[in-house]
Amino acid sequence: MGVVSVIAAGAAAWVFGAIWYSVLAQAWKEASGVALGEDGAPVNQKNPVPYIASMVCMIVVAGMIRHIFAGTGITTLGAGGLAGLGAGLFIAAPWIVTCYGFAGRPLKLILIDGGYATFGCMVIGIVLTLF
């Protein structure tokens, strides 16, 4: 597991996020309260910065998960998927719940964004063990 696997895992999680939020777009727009244009799309949808930042963040997350895998000897697909799922479910998602809870964000948004964090980490874990 090296740089290529980290980039591939980050890219896979980013693509998974694109699919996740495409499927849940309407529910996410309603729950997030994001400003919408006349066409019903988020007004910042054409701004490339959030897309680039999210790709960089997924690579950073993949790098840390790779570091954890190297230190713990996780090398199999099943162990990688389970460890990634665990990182998302027991580290990333609780952080989202805490922040959103204090911000008074709706449960629907917590579930959508927490679900992406959980399953995105699982995708990272799986891809990391493929290389």
Coil, strand, or helix at residue 74?
coil
Q: Which two tokens stand for residue 30?
A: 């309603």
Q: What is the pLDDT of residue 69?
A: 97
Q: What is the pLDDT of residue 70?
A: 96
Mean pLDDT across the stretch 7-24? 98
pLDDT at position 1 over 90? no
- Average pLDDT (17-42) is 95
Q: What is the DSSP letter of 76?
A: S
What's the pTM?
A: 0.94
